[in-house]
Chain A
Amino acid sequence: GIQVEQSPPDLILQEGANSTLRCNFSDSVNNLQWFHQNPWGQLINLFYIPSGTKQNGRLSATTVATERYSLLYISSSQTTDSGVYFCAVLSGNTGKLIFGQGTTLQVKP
């Protein structure tokens, strides 16, 4: 099955700093999503981005499907950005998302 690897596993930033999170996947995909899990456990869908670039406020994401990776950019980080960021890809047409292990981000004031 598809393997999804995220890096780095942990990241600590000062408020205001920028960061890049990476997601590598082992096979071609037609659905890739980024999620943020807040410290209370709620998972929020950030982006659906099988290819190309999207932006939403201070967050943007780029997927290069031919090279099998996706990047999530966080600019001018805030303490509310803390939590775990997951990348997930679709396995075939089964509707099952395969998740990476996540990147745990801590933004310090």
Chain B
Amino acid sequence: DVKVTQSSRYLVKRTGEKVFLECVQDMDHENMFWYRQDPGLGLRLIYFSYDVKMKEKGDIPEGYSVSREKKERFSLILESASTNQTSMYLCASSPSRTGAMLRYTFGSGTRLTVV
């Protein structure tokens, strides 16, 4: 089975800190995604990547950046953490962009609290 590993389960950071959330997948998937989940809003896409050193903005990229230096690793960066970025962050990977091969596998999530 594909495994998607997020480096931290729970994280508490201070306002203004630079925060790195790491995600690693072990099945050579091309596509990786970062979502945030908030009550009543479902999952919203922050950034995604189809290949190494490639990134695309999702629906809510403001305040975030990403890095994909290696195929298996996709990092989400909060440049200057703010309290409205307190959320559950979910990483996913998929072997394909289309059709039946587009099957997301999610990590277990990082619950970030910014104080």
* A95 lies within 8 A of B100 (CB): no
Q: Does A70 contact B (CB under 8 A)?
A: no
Within 8 A of B (CB), among A30-84: 30-31, 33, 35, 40-45, 48
Least Cβ distance of B56 to chain A in Å? 8
Known: A99-B43, A101-B42. A31 touches B111 (CB 8 A): no
From B16-24, B62-70, B102-110, the one touching the partner chain is B102-110
Within 8 A of A (CB), among B75-115: 88, 90, 92, 94, 96-100, 102-106, 108-109, 111
Q: Does A13 contact B (CB under 8 A)?
A: no
* A101 lies within 8 A of B41 (CB): yes
Instruction: List, in ascending order, chain B residues with CB within 8 A of A90's CB.
Output: 98, 102
Instruction: List, in ascending order, chain B residues with CB within 8 A of A35's CB.
Output: 104, 106
Give bound CA distance, A80 to B111, whole Å.
22
* A96 lies within 8 A of B111 (CB): no
Least Cβ distance of A2 to chain B in Å? 12
Interface residues of B (CB under 8 A from A): 31, 33, 35, 40-45, 48, 50, 56, 58, 88, 90, 92, 94, 96-100, 102-106, 108-109, 111
Interface residues of A (CB under 8 A from B): 30-31, 33, 35, 40-45, 48, 86, 88, 90, 93-97, 99-102
